[in-house]
Amino acid sequence: MSAQPEKPNLEDLALVPMGTEHLDEVMEIERLSFPTPWSRGAYQREILDNSYARYIVALLGGRVVGYAGMWVLMDEAHVTNIAVHPDYRHLGIGERILRELIRRAYAAGADKMTLEVRVSNVVAQNLYKKLGFAFRGIRRGYYTDTHEDAMIMWRNGLGEDKNLAQEGRAES
Ligand SMILES: CC(C)(COP(=O)(O)OP(=O)(O)OC[C@H]1O[C@@H](n2cnc3c(N)ncnc32)[C@H](O)[C@@H]1OP(=O)(O)O)[C@@H](O)C(=O)NCCC(=O)NCCS
């Protein structure tokens, strides 16, 4: 287990597009966060070849402490994943990352955002509810590793946050 970091100053958090130079650290967080992690090749394809995909990393002092991604298709954004390094959880970083994803989705023309989350993943559900996502349905056995059901959540009106409306739809 790595040493617990000092409580970081989130003013130092930088949220930038994911590049191949981040993938070693992304893969470490991915393995620590998910029972069936995505492969490095999957991330490479997403960031290099998929024109609908937008991925960001959160950097603290140059270290990747979290990341998230989505596909933006017309006016809908679909979150593919979000994770924070276990040593940096419950400090507000996941919320910052998701707010930035929403900002970028809106800037790219999306008005609504959706995601799936394991029914057992109450921590992530709390984060999504905090940022305005609401339960809209269940996909039975969605997760092929454990056959667990997925909750489908949606957030409408991405531009309704005051700060987003002020920033407008300049290029993301
Ligand atoms: C879900 C995850 C990204 C949250 O990141 P985080 O940086 O720890 O979250 P934050 O500190 O920004 O917390 C934001 C909100 O999430 C919820 N939350 C975070 N940690 C929680 C915990 N331990 N218990 C309950 N709710 C929690 C709370 O609503 C919190 O708001 P609050 O602090 O005002 O109560 C992180 O736990 C993670 O990486 N989990 C593993 C990967 C994963 O499950 N991803 C989601 C897949 S759908």
Known active-site residue 116:
yes
Q: Is the pLDDT of residue 170 over 90?
A: no
Considering the chain, what percentage of its residues have pLDDT values greater than 90? 85
- Distance from chain centroid for Cα 83: 6
Rounded Cα–Cα distance for residues 101 and 55 (Å): 8
Please identify, by atom number, the ligand 1 atom nearest to the C-alpha of residue 121.
44
Grade residue 172 by pLDDT with cuts at 50, 70 and 90: very low
| Of 7, 25, 123, 125, best ligand 1 pocket probe by most atoms within 8 Å of the beta carbon | 123
Across 155-165, average pLDDT: 78
**Residue predicted with more confidence, 41 or 6:** 41
What's the burial of 126, exposed, middle or buried (CB within 10 Å: 0-12/13-18/19+)?
exposed
Q: How far is the CA of 126 from the centre of ligand 1 (A)?
A: 7
Pick from 8-12, 25-29, 49-53, 75-79: least confident: 8-12
Active-site option among 28, 76, 116, 148:
116
pLDDT value of position 58 = 98
Q: Is the pLDDT of residue 147 over 80?
A: yes
Known active-site residue 167:
no
Q: How far is the CA of 15 from the centre of ligand 1 (A)?
A: 17
pLDDT value of position 164 = 59
Q: In order of start, what are the domains of the chain with their CATH numbers?
A: 10-160 (3.40.630.30)
* Lookup result for tokens 């029914």: 119
pLDDT value of position 159 = 87
Q: Is the pLDDT of residue 166 over 80?
A: no
What CA–CA distances, in Å, run from 64 to 77, 151, 155, 164?
23, 28, 27, 25
pLDDT value of position 8 = 83
Q: Is the pLDDT of residue 129 over 80?
A: yes
Rounded Cα–Cα distance for residues 90 and 96 (Å): 11
Q: Report pLDDT digits (tens) over 97-126.
A: 999 999 999 999 999 999 999 999 999 999
Rounded Cα–Cα distance for residues 151 and 141 (Å): 10
Q: How far is the CA of 90 from the centre of ligand 1 (A)?
A: 6
